[in-house]
């Protein structure tokens, strides 16, 4: 017990020797995290990526259930209800989305004029089809094309790059010469040429997008395979008698998974763009099928008088592209160990 006057006088007895226990020096203080838990912690800090994931989830859910929400079929034509502006129950009282539209330069309520009792939330097109239903049907088709194309790109790219990098030697030489020539061919040209010779439709678009889309992935996977296959843990595994198949699936692929996922996240918006692009210039999906590209194309044609036809698909495609890009950015920051501070 010391009082304040004695504070200055410290005697050797005041100090206590701390003994370092060799058993505890290697103790891990924090719970150990797997690679994915660590990545999730990193991703969770990225607000833009989290918001994007939520928005993306909402869009995907709407693409699945949206077409059934208001009882109008996407291909049901009703010429009496053609060219109606958006009218949403509840919001109409505010003056927005109340069914007012321009007719011969004057603003009139087209619903009252045409004696339409139903609500078309996002309006109707020139054939009287409900744009709300068509928008989500189109989103579904666009997302489907994008996901399938990205998955095919991933499978071909990983297989090609993996084989080329892992077996090396003459196999690698030949495979890389092929890639060097293919990479010189502009993607756009190949996509357009391929789509021209096939029957227009979802399959044609997917084939056209994937025919050169896998090259980027294959180059990345090859470089990663080359990097990892010469490392000690692979050598150790081989010494213990592991076969090629086991080394690839147990040691190489798990290490590359992060970079493969990041790359796939960036191919999805690319595929969405190409589908919309092809449909916009008129060689993609053919009517009456809807995709974001065809809807934007339809909307562009009547932009002058019915801007809402263009507005909604334009918003959805932009939001989708932004969300995928932000998630890709966030994943790259979270998964790439080089970026760790």
Partner 1 sequence: MVKYIGKRIVYMFITLFLIATASFFLMQTLPGSPIASYNKLNDTQKAIVEKKYGIDKPKPVQYAIYMKNLAKGDLGTSFVFKGKSVNDLLATRLKPSLILGAQAMVFGTIVGILLGMLAALKHNTFWDYGSTFFAILGISIPSFVFASLLQYWIASEWHLLPVGLWNDGWKSSVLPSLALAMGPLALSARFIRTEMIEVLNSDYIMLAKAKGANGFEIAFKHAFRNALIPLITVLGPLAAGLVTGSLVVEQIFAIPGIGEQFVSSIMTNDHATIMGTTLLFSAFLIAVIFIVDILYGVIDPRIRVSGGKG
Residues in contact with partner 1 by CB under 8 A are 180-181, 184-189, 192-194, 196-197, 269, 273, 276-277, 280-283, 296, 299-300, 303-304, 307, 310, 314, 317-318, 321-322, 324-326
Return the structure tokens found at 329: 């950015």
CB of 212 to partner 1, least distance (A): 12
Please give the helix or strand (H or E) that residue 101 lies within, else none.
strand 100-103
Angle, alpha carbons 150-153-156 (nearest 5°):
150
CB of 321 to partner 1, least distance (A): 4
Q: Residue 278 in 3-state DSSP?
A: helix
Sequence-ordered alpha helix ranges (H) in 115-201: 131-167, 169-184, 187-197
Return the structure tokens found at 330: 């966030």
Contacts of residue 248, defined as CB under 8 A and 6 or more positions apart, other chains included, come to 162, 166
CB of 267 to partner 1, least distance (A): 14
Instruction: Select 158 or 323, whichever has its Cβ closest to partner 1.
Output: 323
Instruction: Select 149 or 326, whichever has its Cβ closest to partner 1.
Output: 326
Short-list 59, 61, 54, CA closest to 320? 59
Instruction: Select 128 or 164, whichever has its Cβ closest to partner 1.
Output: 164
Contacts of residue 76, defined as CB under 8 A and 6 or more positions apart, other chains included, come to 129, 130
Return the structure tokens found at 36: 């994915």
CB of 241 to partner 1, least distance (A): 36
Short-list 150, 336, 315, CA closest to 259? 336
The per-residue b/e assignment along 140-160, b for 16 or more CB within 10 angstroms, e otherwise, is bbbbebbebbbebbbebbbeb
CB of 35 to partner 1, least distance (A): 24
CB of 145 to partner 1, least distance (A): 15
CB of 238 to partner 1, least distance (A): 29
Instruction: Select 145 or 248, whichever has its Cβ closest to partner 1.
Output: 145
DSSP state of 250: I
Instruction: Select 133 or 306, whichever has its Cβ closest to partner 1.
Output: 306
Instruction: Select 113 or 281, whichever has its Cβ closest to partner 1.
Output: 281
How far, CA to CA in Å, does 41 sit from each of 49, 70, 138, 254, 338?
12, 40, 35, 19, 16
Q: Cα-flanking dihedrals φ and ψ of residue 112, to 5°? A: -70, -40
Please give the helix or strand (H or E) that residue 333 lies within, else none.
helix 307-335
Instruction: Select 49 or 256, whichever has its Cβ closest to partner 1.
Output: 49
CB of 207 to partner 1, least distance (A): 13
Instruction: Select 227 or 246, whichever has its Cβ closest to partner 1.
Output: 227
Short-list 306, 307, 277, CA closest to 293? 277
């Amino acid at each position: 017990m010391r009082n304040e006057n004695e504070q200055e006088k410290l005697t050797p007895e005041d100090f206590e020797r701390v003994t370092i226990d060799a058993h505890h020096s290697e103790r891990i203080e924090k719970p150990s995290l797997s690679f994915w838990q660590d990545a999730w912690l990193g991703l969770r800090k990225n607000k833009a990526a989290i918001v994007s994931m939520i928005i993306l989830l909402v869009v995907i859910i709407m693409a699945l259930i949206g077409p059934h929400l208001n009882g109008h079929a996407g291909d049901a034509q009703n010429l009496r209800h053609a060219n109606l502006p958006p009218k949403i129950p509840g919001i109409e009282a505010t003056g927005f989305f109340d069914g007012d539209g321009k007719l011969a330069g004057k603003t009139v309520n087209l619903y009252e004029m045409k004696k339409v009792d139903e609500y078309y939330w996002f309006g109707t097109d020139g054939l009287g089809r409900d744009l709300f239903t068509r928008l989500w049907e189109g989103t579904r088709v666009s997302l489907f094309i994008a996901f399938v194309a990205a998955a095919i790109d991933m499978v071909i790219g990983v297989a090609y790059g993996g084989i080329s990098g892992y077996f090396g030697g003459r196999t690698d030489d030949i495979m890389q010469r092929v890639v060097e020539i293919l990479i010189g061919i502009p993607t756009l040209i190949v996509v357009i040429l391929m789509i021209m010779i096939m029957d227009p439709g979802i399959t044609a678009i997917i084939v056209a997008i994937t025919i050169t889309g896998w090259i980027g992935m294959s180059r990345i996977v090859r470089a990663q395979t080359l990097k990892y296959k010469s490392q000690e843990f692979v050598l150790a595994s081989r010494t213990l008698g592991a076969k090629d198949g086991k080394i690839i699936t147990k040691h190489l692929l798990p290490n590359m998974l992060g970079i493969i996922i990041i790359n796939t996240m960036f191919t999805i918006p690319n595929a969405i763009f190409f589908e919309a692009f092809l449909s916009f210039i008129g060689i993609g999906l053919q009517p009456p099928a809807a995709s974001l590209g065809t809807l934007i194309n339809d909307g562009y044609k009547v932009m002058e008088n019915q801007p809402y036809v263009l507005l909604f698909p334009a918003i959805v495609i932009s939001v989708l592209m932004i969300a995928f890009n932000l998630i890709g950015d966030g994943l790259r920051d979270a998964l790439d160990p080089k970026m760790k501070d």
